[in-house]
Amino acid sequence: MTQSTRRLVLGATAAAVVLLAAPAWAQAKKEVLGVSMPAATHSFMAGAVYWANEAKKDLEKAHPGMQVIVKTAANASEQASQLQDLVTVNKITSLVVFPFESAALTKPVAQVKSKGVYVTVVDRGLTDPSIQDAYVAGDNTAFGKIPAEYIAKSLNGKGNIVALRGIPTTLDNERMDAFNAVMKGYPDIKLLDAKHGNWNRDDAFKVMQDYLTRFKDIDAVWAADDDMAVGVLKAIEQSKRKDIKLVFGGAGAKGAIKTLMDGSDPLIQANVSYSPKFMYDAIKMTGEARLKGEKLPANNIIPSVLITKQNAKDFYFPNSPF
C-alpha cells in the first residue's frame, strides 16, 4: 500500500461535515455525476445499490444544482452500453463505476475517461488502474488474510480445506493471493481446490456438491462470501457429511452476523467485515470533491476486521438490505 493510501473509518462522518460546510459558490456549480454498477442480483449488491441511492438522495438534497444518475446493469455488456449513454446522453462530468467485470469494463471506462470525465472506480478494479482518478474499496488483502489465519488456527495447522472464489476480478485475485500467502506458512494444511462460485448461492451450491463428491475428507471451507456460504451450507446439509468443522463466509451480511450472534450453527464461528456502504462513501466523496474542483486521494481503503460472537453486535444492521 502506498503512502498516498488513505484509510477510511466506516461511515462518511467527515465527508458529511464537509458537505454541510460547503461554501455558497460550490452550491451553485453544476455537476452531473453518473453512477454505474451491477444490478442487485445478490444480497451484497442489493446493499450496494441501496447505499448508492441513499448517496444520490443526500447529495441532490444538499446541492440543488447537482444531478446524480444511478444506472444498474445485468451484465458487463449492458454496463458498457450504459456508460456510453451516460457520456453521450446525460453529459456526465464525473463517474463512479463499480465494474461488473474487470477486463470487460476496462476499455469502456477508458473511453469515458478520454472524454474528460473524472473517474472513481469502486471495489472490482480495472485491469489498467492508470485509467482511474481514484479507487475506493474494502481491504481485500485483509479479506483473504483474516479467514486464512482463523482457519489455520482452528485446525491447529493441519487438515484439508477447499475454497470458493468470486467472479474473476482483480479483487478476487487479491483475496486469493492473500489467503494463499498465509497458508504457505502451514505446510500441513492442504488446499484441495479453489473454484469460482461467482458470489452466487446457486453456483456455490454446485461447486460445493462437486467438492463433496470428489473429496472424502474436508475439514474446513473458505466460502469467501456470505451468499456463497449459504449455498455451501445447503450442499453440506444435503450430503449429511459430518467431517466439515468450519465454514467461513465473509462480508458481514446481516443473516450471517445474526447466526453468529445466536450461535445457531456450529459451522459458523467467525466472519470478516466488508460493508457495501463503501458505495455511498465513494459517491458522496466524489461529488463533494468535484464541486470544489478537487481530487480524491488515489487509493481509499476501508479496513476489514475479524468478526466473532464477542463483537458481532457491532456489525449487525437489521434495517439494511444486506
Neighbouring C-alpha atoms within 13 Å toward the C-beta of 115: 19
Note the pLDDT of residue 134: 97
List the grid coordinates of 224.
469467501
Task: Tell the residue number behind the cell numbers 434495517, with chain if given.
Answer: 319
Mean pLDDT of 40-64: 92
Q: Which domains does the chain have, with CATH numbers?
A: 31-139+276-302 (3.40.50.2300), 140-273 (3.40.50.2300)
Indicate if the pLDDT at residue 92 is higher than 60.
yes
Indicate if the pLDDT at residue 14 is higher than 60.
no
**Does residue 9 sit in helix, strand or coil?**
coil
Q: How far apart are CA 190 and CA 78, in angstroms?
A: 40
Mean pLDDT of 19-30: 47
255 falls in which pLDDT band (50, 70, 90)? very high
Lowest mean pLDDT of 17-21, 168-172, 208-212, name the range: 17-21
Indicate if the pLDDT at residue 6 is higher than 80.
no
Q: How far is CA 67 from CA 35, 60, 283, in A?
A: 11, 6, 12
User: Which pTM was predicted?
Assistant: 0.70
Indicate if the pLDDT at residue 133 is higher than 80.
yes
Note the pLDDT of residue 10: 39
124 falls in which pLDDT band (50, 70, 90)? confident
For residue 257, give every residue at least 6 positions away whose Cβ sits within 8 Å of its Cβ, in sequence order, or none: 271, 307, 312, 315, 316
- Say which DSSP state 315 is in: G
Note the pLDDT of residue 322: 82
Over the chain, what is the mean pLDDT? 90
Mean pLDDT of 208-230: 97
Indicate if the pLDDT at residue 215 is higher than 80.
yes
41 falls in which pLDDT band (50, 70, 90)? confident
Note the pLDDT of residue 317: 77
Note the pLDDT of residue 249: 97
202 falls in which pLDDT band (50, 70, 90)? very high
Check if the beta carbon of residue 34 is closer than 8 Å to that of residue 94.
yes
* Strand partners of residue 73: 38
Note the pLDDT of residue 26: 44
Mean pLDDT of 224-245: 97
Residues 275-300: tens digit of each pLDDT: 888 899 999 999 999 999 999 999 99
- Between β-strands 220-222 and 159-165, what pairing exists: parallel, antiparallel or unpaired? parallel
Mean pLDDT of 35-42: 91
Indicate if the pLDDT at residue 27 is higher than 90.
no
